[in-house]
Chains A and B, each alone.
Chain A
Amino acid sequence: MIASGTMIYWAYDPYKVGISGFTLFHFFPDWFYNATQVPHKLALGMAIHFAFAWLFAINGIAYLVYTVVSGEWRELAPDRKAFREAIQVTMHDLGFKVPLPPQRRYNAAQRITYSSIILMGGLSLVTGLAIYKPAQLYWLAAFLGGYEWARFEHFWLTMGYVAFFVIHIVQVIRAGWPNFRAMVSGYDVEGVEAHHAD
Chain B
Amino acid sequence: MPINKDGATEKRVNPPLSAEEQLRRRTRRGFIGLGIGAAAAIGGWEWLMSGAHEEGDIPPRLRSILQANESVVRKTIYSNDNLAKTYPASAIGEIKVNGELGMDDDVEPGEWRLEVVPFGQSGPALKLDLDDLRRLPRHEETIDFKCIEGWSTVTQFAGARFSDFTAKFARGSAGAPSVSMETPDGEYYVGLDMHSALHPQTLLAWEMNGEPLEDEHGAPLRLVIPVKYGVKSIKRIGKVEYVGERRPDDYWAERGYDWYAGL
- B52-80 CB mask vs A (1 if < 8 Å, else 0) is 00000010001101100100010001110
The reply on A122 being an interface residue by CB < 8 A is: no
Which listed segment binds A: B19-27, B118-126, B165-173, B206-214?
B19-27
**Of A43, A135, A142, A196, which contacts B58 at CB under 8 A?**
A43
Shortest Cβ distance from residue A111 to the other chain B in the assembled complex, whole angstroms: 23
Instruction: Give every chain A residue within 8 A of B83 (Cβ-Cβ).
Output: 135, 138
Q: Is the CB of B257 within 8 A of A46?
A: yes
Q: CB-CB < 8 A to A189: which residues of B?
A: 19-20, 23
Report chain B residues within 8 Å CB of A181. Answer: 23, 27
- A43-B255 in contact (CB<8A): yes
Contact with A along B6-28 (1 / 0, CB 8 A): 00000000000011101100110
Whether the Cβ atoms of A133 and B73 lie closer than 8 Å is: yes
* Count of chain A to chain B residue pairs whose CB atoms are closer than 8 Å in the complex: 102
Choose one: B20, B150, B255, B262; the contact of A9 (CB below 8 Å). B150
Given contacts A51-B48, A142-B85, contact A135 B256 (CB under 8 A): no
Contact present for A47 and B150 (CB under 8 Å) = no
Counting contact residues on chain B (CB < 8 A from A), the size range is 35 or more
Instruction: Give the CA-CA distance A43 to B63 in the complex, in Å.
Output: 11
Q: Tell me the smallest distance from the CB of A52 to a CB of chain B, in Å.
A: 9
Q: How many angstroms from the CA of A148 to the CA of B257 in the assembled complex?
A: 21
Asked if A196 and B18 make an inter-chain contact with CB atoms under 8 angstroms apart, the answer reads yes
A34 located at the interface, meaning its Cβ lies under 8 Å from any Cβ of chain B in the complex: no
| B40 in contact (CB, < 8 A) | no
Q: List 21 A-B contacts (CB under 8 A).
A: A8-B150, A11-B149, A11-B150, A43-B58, A44-B62, A46-B257, A47-B62, A47-B63, A47-B256, A50-B69, A133-B263, A135-B263, A136-B79, A136-B263, A138-B82, A138-B85, A142-B85, A147-B146, A185-B30, A189-B19, A196-B20
Known: A137-B77, A151-B150. 14 other contacts (CB 8 A): A9-B150, A11-B150, A44-B58, A47-B65, A47-B256, A50-B69, A50-B258, A51-B48, A135-B82, A135-B263, A136-B262, A138-B85, A185-B23, A189-B23
